Amino acid sequence: MPCKAKVNEDEKIINEVCKKLNKLVKNIVHLDPNFVYIGSKEKGYYSIYNKNNYGKNMELSLNFRLYYPDKKSFYYNTEAKYLNSKDIDRYIDSKYNDSKFLYAKIEWFSVNPTRKGIGSKLIIHFLEILKSIENIEFILLSPKNNTAKNFWSTNKFVEADYSMELDRRVKNTACRRLVYKF
């Protein structure tokens, strides 16, 4: 039962993020983006994306995920080391169920027209929205090319350091990542 209450609390957070993003985009580029979400705690993340990508003289696409810590990472907790194999699964489930969002990962972001400052303006405010979510520590992304990497670097994203790559709370992928830490 407590898990159900937690899901409702998390979905309230997600709904609030969608409302803030809709207002942000509408105010800056006069587009009604219709941000929606899918996902669940059981999946380990929620995906948020805009269904309406086109407006008058404008295209915008933003797709990102809010992740919980990797469930397997709780196996490495100090308390877990002293549990027998029968109790470890219950311990991990309990810790995971109590966990909150840890980080965001930007899956896709594009704005057209480009090189007008619109993308940077949106990202600055987008970061503020994510900062307001309790416990979010950082944002990850994998730029598809040097132009994208330069855009994100200009907006204070840096190459992930070695410790970030080894963070057990994050599912590891082989791609090069940029990170924005709060």
pLDDT of residue 161: 75
3-state secondary structure of 61: strand
Sorting pLDDT into bands at 50, 70 and 90, what band is 55?
Answer: confident
Dist CA 165 CA 174 (whole Å) = 9
pLDDT of residue 130: 97
pLDDT at residue 182 greater than cutoff 80: yes
Contacts of 12 (CB under 8 A, 6+ apart): none
pLDDT at residue 61 greater than cutoff 70: yes
3-state secondary structure of 21: helix
Rg (CA), the chain: 18
Dist CA 73 CA 55 (whole Å) = 43
Q: What is the pTM of this model?
A: 0.89
Tokens of 152: 């994100």
In the block, tokens 């990472």 appear at: 73
Report the relative pairing of strands 158-159 and 103-112 from DSSP bridges. Answer: unpaired
pLDDT at residue 172 greater than cutoff 80: no
Dist CA 39 CA 63 (whole Å) = 13
